[in-house]
Chain A
Amino acid sequence: MTPNFAVLALLDGIAYASLLFLVAVGLTLVFGVLGILNIAHGSLYAIGAYVAATLGQWLVANGYNPWLTFPALFAGATVVGIALGGMLERFLLQRIYKKDEVLQLLVTFAVFMILENLQRMIWGVQPYFMSTPLNLLGNISFLGINYTAYQVLFLPAAAIVVLFALRHFLRHTAIGAQILAVTEDREAATSIGINATRVYFMTFVIGACFAALGGALATPTTSLVTGMGANMIVLSFAVAATAGLGQIEGAAVSALMIGVARAFAVYLSPELEVIMPYLIMVLVLLVKPNGLFGKDTARKI
């Protein structure tokens, strides 16, 4: 064990946390505004990844400039978020906002199962990958350890941009103010002329875009496999619950906690790595049942 392991673990943890945050922030945003815990968020993550990979592979195979795979990641995520997220909200969720919460949960779970099979039909079961962006950025050496610039620079930067852009959007723009108003009190907001239906739609699409973006940005680092959405939804739920559902900055903090704790576990006690996210979630919820930043309101789950 090198004495510098704490620095290394911190770097690894931040890289991991960045991806985790990107996915969890969408989940928590949708919950905060719409009050729905969207299990299909995991599918949006997976499909965002597959579409970005397909687009990237196509660009590379057809001899386009490999740097175009970077915009392809964002383009793929946006298309999936708007098209698939938009359809889900418009044709399905809009019909069940007033229904029982258990039913809402079951409906999004059913969508998740359907989309899981759809992925298998479209992309098959063999692992997929598209690591061009990661290879392009190359490695940086730190304390004698090679890191990929993509993971320790690009991903954290992307997470920070998303965090601050979202904060700015919600607090300093008219649409953001409308979203906050609807979250606070839908009826009152409607009575002063805010189109709550439109606000719900937009929020869900934004959340879906973040899920897909998380998947797209994960693509260069991993193999896309069936079931990847299920793993991610469980993890990002742990992040969101630790933070307190609906807490955006909180999601960043808890993603960081979980990411760093997991990395430290790999160095100090590898047996704990697998359960680390859940261990942290349980410890936090034991002390603060509404999560680190959660307000004392009736929770959905």
Chain B
Amino acid sequence: MIFNKLSLGGVLAAAMSAAALTSAAWAADKPSELKIGITTYSSGSASVFGVPARHAAEILAEGINAKGGINGVPVKLYFIDEGAGLETLMAEYRRLVEDEGVDVTFASISSGVCNKMAPLAEDLEVVNFMWDCGTQRILEDDKYDYVFRTQANATPEVLAPLAYLLKTNPDFKTIAVVNQDYAWGRDSWEIFSNALKTQRPDVKVVAELFPAFGAADFSTEVSRLQALKPDVILSTSWGGDLDTFVRQAKQRGLFESSKFVLPLAESSLQRLRDDLPEGVIVGARGDHYFLHPETRNDEKFKAFNEKFKERTGEYPIYSAAHMVQAFAALEAVYDKAIKANGGEWPTKEQIAEAMIGLNFKGLGRPLVIREDGQAIEAQLVGTTAKRDGYDFKVIDQMEIYDGKDLMAPVGEKSLAWISKFKADFLSKVPATPYRHQ
């Protein structure tokens, strides 16, 4: 109690200055450049996402600066390698914020990294966009003032492919899962299997396989799956792991006996080419596809795809699209905060405040940031098909789901929300169908 009395003065002073902060129009000096710290993988297996995203960031920054910057302020990018290990990464992040004085950060790709970065950003009071990591837990478990997510989270990213599966293959009786043995592989299966139980309690899970992250060989898994012949095989794996699994399964005829559901395979289409058979259900962690049926004719979409193809020789994958969303949110939030501030350059507190309810648009459908800092993002799921003009499988029989239908409401935790699903909830979630054109 003594502590309370002693600190009362301090609390009062803090409250008064906080009041001053919100009432008076506080303007920060317009800086000579807007510094953005970005964590992305430039080494390690996740660089299959990190490197395309970095190319995207560079293209976007060049574009912003070519038109004079954000409200006349050019942007400058600072990259940190997530593959360098958590210790190095956190030290480097701290250095960027404290010494280099970056104004905003985009962190990170890995859920494990986001888990560490979110509290660190909050501590350092720097506005952070979680631009790609999947875990739904961070914003569901804790309240943050400076941490926002400019994309969906694992919940809709896993529920959308399940909804698609339930609608297109309503009769399956058995399922097996082959996920990487780390946070994403485990969490995504937890969401998927819990939701499946509410929708189809009769479906039997015949194998739960979690080979090592980065495993080079899935032969034994493939043998066992051939013996079990499950109706459906789910894998939320990605990168080299997914490529190897798909090739080994294809070579040995597993695709002929089981329906595959690969929620991240949009990012492997161009590498796997003919090794990925037709008829596989694929997702993209959002409505990300270089032939997005609703936005492919937009100027912004076409220009970005062209520049990306020119620079990398490939069409952009979802991680590049997530980077586009982070930049779109950044431009939108500065616009909004500057307007709200009577045309003056905003403080970071004003930026953080303007994030709530922010509308922005990347390469897909428009997004909005909820009051818990989480964006609502549409989800695109489809089936692979061979079509003229592409030397890899394209996505046909697409369904685009509105993000809000597949997301736990603010204040609710995903697993608790999922446990309350009505038995036909997912098969009736509205979606807009599209064919490949």
Residues of A within 8 A of B (CB): 1-2, 5, 8-9, 11-13, 15-16, 19, 117, 120, 124-127, 129, 131, 134-135, 139, 144-148, 151, 218, 221-228, 231-232, 262-263, 266-267, 270-271, 273-274
Partner pick for A126 among B48, B208, B212, B216, CB 8 A cutoff? B48
Asked if B44 is at the interface (CB within 8 A of a chain A CB), the reply is: yes
Q: Which B residues from 125 to 157 make CB contacts under 8 A with A?
A: none
Chain B: minimal CB distance from A133 (Å): 12
CB of B48 within 8 A of CB of A266, answer no
In the complex, which residues of chain A have a beta carbon less than 8 angstroms from the beta carbon of B221?
266
Asked if B335 is at the interface (CB within 8 A of a chain A CB), the reply is: no
CB of B251 within 8 A of CB of A148, answer yes
* Interface-centre pick from A120, A125, A226, A273 (highest chain B CB count, 10 A): A125
Given A139-B252, A274-B210, the answer on whether A12 and B220 have CB atoms closer than 8 Å is: yes
Partner pick for A127 among B220, B239, B252, CB 8 A cutoff? B239
Chain B: minimal CB distance from A270 (Å): 5
Chain A: minimal CB distance from B39 (Å): 16
Q: Which residue from chain B places its CB closest to the CB of A19 in the assembled complex? A: B217
CB of A139 within 8 A of CB of B211, answer no
Q: Which B residues from 36 to 55 make CB contacts under 8 A with A?
A: 42-45, 47-48, 50-51
Q: Which residue from chain A places its CB closest to the CB of B41 in the assembled complex? A: A125
Partner pick for B209 among A15, A227, A270, CB 8 A cutoff? A270
In the complex, which residues of chain A have a beta carbon less than 8 angstroms from the beta carbon of B228?
1
Partner pick for B247 among A139, A146, A151, A223, CB 8 A cutoff? A223
CB of A139 within 8 A of CB of B251, answer yes
CB of A273 within 8 A of CB of B211, answer yes
CB of A2 within 8 A of CB of B227, answer yes
Asked if B63 is at the interface (CB within 8 A of a chain A CB), the reply is: no
Given A131-B251, A221-B248, the answer on whether A263 and B239 have CB atoms closer than 8 Å is: no
Asked if B223 is at the interface (CB within 8 A of a chain A CB), the reply is: yes
CB of A221 within 8 A of CB of B227, answer no
- Cα A185 to Cα B248 in complex, Å, equals 47
Asked if B226 is at the interface (CB within 8 A of a chain A CB), the reply is: yes
Asked if B34 is at the interface (CB within 8 A of a chain A CB), the reply is: no
- Cα A221 to Cα B209 in complex, Å, equals 19
Given A125-B47, A129-B243, the answer on whether A9 and B216 have CB atoms closer than 8 Å is: no
Q: Which B residues from 199 to 226 make CB contacts under 8 A with A?
A: 207-212, 214-217, 219-221, 223-224, 226
- Cα A64 to Cα B253 in complex, Å, equals 27
In the complex, which residues of chain A have a beta carbon less than 8 angstroms from the beta carbon of B48?
125-127
Given A15-B219, A151-B219, A274-B181, the answer on whether A127 and B210 have CB atoms closer than 8 Å is: no
Given A15-B219, A227-B45, A273-B211, the answer on whether A146 and B244 have CB atoms closer than 8 Å is: no
- Cα A11 to Cα B292 in complex, Å, equals 45
6 more A-B contacts (CB under 8 A) besides A135-B251, A146-B253?
A: A1-B228, A120-B47, A131-B251, A222-B216, A231-B215, A274-B212
CB of A227 within 8 A of CB of B44, answer yes
Asked if B271 is at the interface (CB within 8 A of a chain A CB), the reply is: yes
CB of B244 within 8 A of CB of A222, answer yes
CB of B252 within 8 A of CB of A146, answer yes
CB of A226 within 8 A of CB of B45, answer yes
Given A125-B48, A223-B243, the answer on whether A16 and B252 have CB atoms closer than 8 Å is: no
